[in-house]
Amino acid sequence: MKRALAIVAAILMFAQMLTGCLIIKESPDQNQTGTASAEAFEPKSLGSAAFTVDESKTSSIDYNGTDTSVGVADGNGLFWTLDIPNDALVQPQTITMTAMSGVSVDTLGTMAGGVILEPDGLTFLEPVKLTVTGNGINDHSLLFTGNHDGTNLAFTCMEDSAGGVSAEIFHFSTAMLYDWDGDEQIKNMETLADEHLADAMKRAKEMLKSPVEDPPIPPDISLKCKKGTHDPDINQYFNAFSANFKEPEMSLITELISAERLKQYMGTSENDDALNMAVRLLERLRTKAGRLIEKYRSEPDKFYASSAAYLEVERMIRLAGGEDNTDWEPLREWCESVAGKHLSDLTDKHDYTSIHALVRAARILELIGGDADAYLTKLDSAMKFDLKIELQMRTMAEYYFKYEIIAEIPIQLTPDLEGRLAVGQGTGKFSYTLAESPIGEFKSPNSYPCEVFITDFDPCTSDVVKLSLDTIGAQAETWYYTLSGLTVTDDTTSHWLAGMLFAGGNSALYNFSMSLKNMDAKAVDETIDKKASDEGLLLEGSIHVTLEHKPNG
């Protein structure tokens, strides 16, 4: 039983791969070569459903890569919930669930309810869970999936769920709930499962006699993020590749597992023959995955799709109890090559979108036993910057002040776990002079400590770098007034000027937003001018910020 559940989990486990704003450069022909006929191994249908779409009961969400859920209540007192984990899609996507009414299946009769999941055919990198709760749910409730039009009904890999039933699904279509009860219905369902499993075993044996087909051409997808680009075709291209890569084996694998899982659910499972057959089919996918690495390892932009397929197969085999004899070295070498390319783009070309790519490559290296820490250490060295801040402030009056304040501070930026947002902090001394004043001169101080915070450096989602200063000006200034001959220590005029010109909102910090320049050593090189007035006194100020990339400096 434990092994059976492990295989069920394996079939549902997709490699935890990359999401976010990825760049796809082409949509290659997904044709695959080989001698086996996919049509000969197509799943056997359990029937076809007729239903009415209830447009009044629909719900949508915009999935952006973080875990979320969408749910809808149908007209029969059932509540359907779809839980989507992190990193489940290549690209952001609007997801919709709509309830059905009047659902019936030609081979099973009346169904308790159903939903349509859209967009049709959407495939996930991580499994999503569909759960049904509410009226009429009992120990005899079963979930089925079908095509978008209700044809080709199939078993699902169900699991226990508090107060309901649930199943993890691979791609979008339709889902329907069936309540069976009574000896006759139980016997009919057992017969259906036995026939379905026997047919799947027969077709699987035939498949094992045929050569393993060559994999389809993987699409070119860069690990780099690209701000503001959400190409709806990216998911479609990746879905097409993923589906073509796994077929014709995966349809039979899921058919074997689902039928066997139903027999376990009903307590009629007798042996592991179906599970052993599923492992043998998974070995074919391992061969196919290996061919991807052999053929495309010199092409960095084919790494994403190829490694996703490779990792998915290996995880399934391991969880299914297959032999642990994987040679990870070819994939490790390819991943290291890709990571090295992105590191070079960051250090030599100042391509800050490579931060995102390098972090993701390191995550994959960690999964396959590579030295991820070595590349993250190199990334740290490549994330060094020199920050220079030049401030000028002056009063526009007969007796005026003009300050010039300068600081040069080294900054170490640190990316987040996704490589999207980098933050940093530095401490230095601001040195300043009173450049012009007819009424006096500074005695002390001419410098003061200041902390600088880079709170937002995100080339994946914006063109803005956000910078904050904890103070502008010393805590006190000592002046010698030339007209009176007095020496006075008092609150700083620079504080007052800074507050009038640069303070804003309720923050205790001075906050600035600057333009981020990708592919430029000077990631920031900008001047912000400010004007203000106080009881008729005109004030002027400017801040010039230079954030210069000094990799390995």
Hey, is 82 helix, strand or coil? Answer: strand
What pLDDT band is residue 257 in, cutting at 50, 70 and 90?
confident
* Residues 164, 140: Cα–Cα separation, whole Å: 11
Confidence of residue 15 (pLDDT cuts 50, 70, 90): very low
What is the structure's pLDDT at 2? 29
Whether the predicted pLDDT of 270 surpasses 70: no
CA–CA separation, 122 and 373 (whole Å): 35
- The token pair that represents 306 in the structure block: 């190829």
Answer whether residue 258 shows pLDDT above 80: no
Q: Identify the three-state secondary structure at position 142.
A: strand
The stretch 456-479 carries a mean pLDDT of: 86
Q: What's the mean per-residue pLDDT of the chain?
A: 81
Give ranges for CATH 2.60.220.30 in the chain: 2-326
pLDDT, tens digit, 9 for 90 and up, residues 138-159: 767 778 888 888 888 877 777 7
Tell me, what's the pLDDT at 130?
92
Per-residue confidence at 42, pLDDT binned at 50, 70, 90? low
Question: What confidence score (pLDDT) does residue 27 get?
Answer: 41
Lowest mean pLDDT among 88-102, 237-251, 260-274, 343-357: 260-274
Q: Does CATH number 2.40.160 belong to domain 383-549? A: yes
Would you say residue 261 has pLDDT above 80?
no
In three-state secondary structure terms, 114 is: strand
The whole-number pLDDT of residue 180 equals 60
The pLDDT value recorded for residue 25 is 42
* 207: pLDDT strictly greater than 80: yes
Residue 360 pLDDT class (50, 70, 90 cuts) = confident
Asked whether the predicted pLDDT for residue 412 surpasses 60, the reply is yes
pLDDT tops 80 at residue 349: yes
What are 378-402's pLDDT values in tens digits?
A: 999 999 999 999 999 988 876 677 8
- Higher-pLDDT residue of 533 and 21 is 533
Average pLDDT over every residue of 399-410 = 83
Q: In what order do the strands lie in the sheet with 123-134?
A: 68-73, 78-84, 123-134, 164-171, 158-161
Beta bridge partners of 73: 79
184 is written with which tokens?
């006759």
- 166-205 pLDDT, tens digit per residue, is 887 766 778 877 766 656 766 777 787 788 888 889 999 9
pLDDT band per the 50, 70, 90 thresholds, residue 37: very low
Dump pLDDT digits (tens) for 57-78.
999 999 877 889 999 999 989 9
319 pLDDT tier (thresholds 50, 70, 90): low
- Distance CA(154)–CA(108), nearest Å, equals 12
pTM, rounded to two decimals: 0.73
Interacting residues of 399 by C-beta distance below 8 A, sequence separation 6+: 437, 438, 439
User: 215 to each of 284, 296, 327, 339, how far by Cα in Å?
Assistant: 11, 11, 19, 24
- 21 has pLDDT over 70: no
Stretch 346-352: mean pLDDT: 96
Domain with CATH 2.40.160 in the chain: 383-549
Q: How confident is the model at residue 447 (pLDDT cuts 50, 70, 90)?
A: confident
Greatest C-alpha distance within the chain: 110
State residue 18's pLDDT score: 28
DSSP H helices in 209-328: 232-246, 249-266, 273-296, 303-319
2-326 folds as Chondroitinase Ac; Chain A, domain 3 (2.60.220)
**Does 288 score more than 70 pLDDT?**
yes
Q: Which helix (H) or strand (E) holds 293?
A: helix 273-296
Q: What is the per-residue pLDDT for 479?
A: 74
At residue 322, does pLDDT exceed 90?
Answer: no
**pLDDT over threshold 80, residue 480:** no
